[in-house]
Amino acid sequence: MSRTVKCTIILMALTIFFLVTEHRFPALASAASPADKITMSVRSSSASQMYSTLEIIDPKLTKALLQAKKEALDEAPFYSDIAVNITHGQLQTYYRLDRAGHFWETSEQSVPRKLVLSTSLNQRLRNYAVALRANHYGKLLSWEQARNIVQRKSIFTLTDLETGLSFKVQRRAGSQHADVQPISKEDSKIMHQIYNGQWSWKRKAILVQSGRNRLAASMNGMPHGGDGIPDNGFSGHFCVHFQESTSHRSTIPDPAHQLMVYKAAGQLDDYFKAASPLLLTLSFVEAMNQQDADMLRQLMERMPHDRQDGFFAQLSSLKFIQIRQSKKQPLQPTIDKDAVTAEFRVPIKMGQTGQADRNTHYSFSFMRDNPQSPWQIIDIVASGKSANHSSLMP
């Protein structure tokens, strides 16, 4: 089982574009590649070791991009996972790409500038991005569909979206999600490596490869429960979740697993846009717990920069963070369907290196443009130590 770090497709002008279904294959190249090229890359996070690239060798397209007029705009709806660079001789220029296929110059010192291209060129660039992302991520299928692909006793491959490491498992049981076990000691060793040598309940975004199917899923990394494969170096099983799957004790999908499922499908933006304030709250706390700076950046996009910096600064020393939920007083915020603002406090427990675990509250503020628009977090304020009140609680 080897680490998957790169998938490359090279497009020559006037050739037919094709998709690959595996991440491990040799790069295609001409005998003498032209100096000018456009390289588009996708990765699930800035720290991800697994990425896919698309090299477009088309002198006319490169020239059109380099000579395009530029239009300054305040807002740019970038793909959060795509980066583009253009190589022209010894010069390299870096761009971002939005969902309409527009290239953007970005700089911390100035507002983004959009390259003005023809509609047909924008559509062509968008098609490249859509195809590349489809090749990199897994397909989003509900548990009711996925369970017919990863049937009981079937063997399939799991790939961690961050490290690119892959290992084989067998589904042994599970009715609301898949209970699986590593096939061999080597598979268990690879899984242990994915979790940095320490078994954990933390969820990870994974790809499930079964035959020609590559599905978006989430796993935890904690051996527990029944064990059916002897001498595999793994005492028990672990859980693999898909869209809408639940734990064995709940009828509600686990928010942390669902967050990773949508990450594995490359659909976090859509997931957040459809989320309620409560789901955004749960997602924020889980992103902190995962120490996922890129996911936090998506969730905090509308927050003041100094507030964002404060949360980013906590990540390196954060051991864990979780919502202190009570069975007697569950988190059940009531928000009017026509409301465009919302606020509530959430009881939090967190641990940081070198400090005693502590209780606090986070006060979340939300806003949307109109009742049909997505909710967004506009501020989060930490306030005080443990208290017996939360406006989330009835």
Q: What is the pLDDT of residues 283-301, one digit of tens each?
A: 999 999 999 999 999 999 9
Task: Indicate whether 207 pLDDT > 70.
Answer: yes
pLDDT one-digit tens code per residue, 121-171: 999 999 999 999 999 999 999 999 999 999 999 999 999 999 999 999 999
Quick check: 23 pLDDT over 60? no
**pLDDT value of residue 19:** 35
Instruction: State the Cα torsion 80-311-333-250 to the nearest 10°.
Output: 70
What's the token pair of residue 327? 């069975």
pLDDT at 330: 65
Under a CB-based contact definition with an 8 Å cutoff, are residues 347 and 359 in contact? yes
**CA–CA distance from 30 to each of 9, 13, 34, 333 (Å)?**
12, 12, 9, 59
Tell me which DSSP letter residue 253 carries: B
Asked whether residue 88 carries a pLDDT value surpassing 90, the answer given is no
CB atoms closer than 10 angstroms to residue 158: 24
264-282 burial: b if 16+ Cβ within 10 Å, else e: bbbbbbebbeebebbbbbb
Residues 343-363, mean pLDDT to the nearest whole number: 93
What token pair was written down for 60?
A: 């006319």
What is the maximum alpha-carbon separation in the chain?
70
Residue 148 — left, alpha, or beta (φ > 0 → left; ψ -120 to 50 → alpha)?
A: alpha
Pick 249 or 97 by higher pLDDT. 97
Contact indicator for 226, 237 with CB cutoff of 8 Å: yes
Q: Which residues contact 200 (CB under 8 A, 6 or more apart)?
A: 220, 221, 222
DSSP sequence for 96-150: EEBTTS-EEEEETTEEEEEEE--HHHHHHHHHHHHHHHHHHS-B--BHHHHTTTS
Which tokens sit at 342?
């919302």
**Predicted local confidence at residue 89, as pLDDT:** 82
Average pLDDT of the chain, as a whole number: 86
| Least confidently predicted of 110-114, 122-126, 307-311, 373-377 | 110-114
Half-sphere exposure of 71 (CA within 13 A, CB side): 9
Residue 20, amino acid: V
Indicate the pairing of strand 238-241 with strand 178-182: antiparallel
Has residue 9 got a pLDDT over 60? no
Distance CA 97, CA 39 (A): 12
Say if residues 218 and 206 touch (Cβ distance below 8 Å). Answer: yes
Domains of the chain (ranges; CATH) run 6-136 (3.30.1490), 143-261 (2.30.110), 275-383 (3.10.450.50)
Task: Please compute the mean of the pLDDT values over residues 69-92 and round it to a whole number.
Answer: 85
The two structure tokens encoding residue 384: 């005080």
Q: What percent of the chain has pLDDT over 70?
A: 86
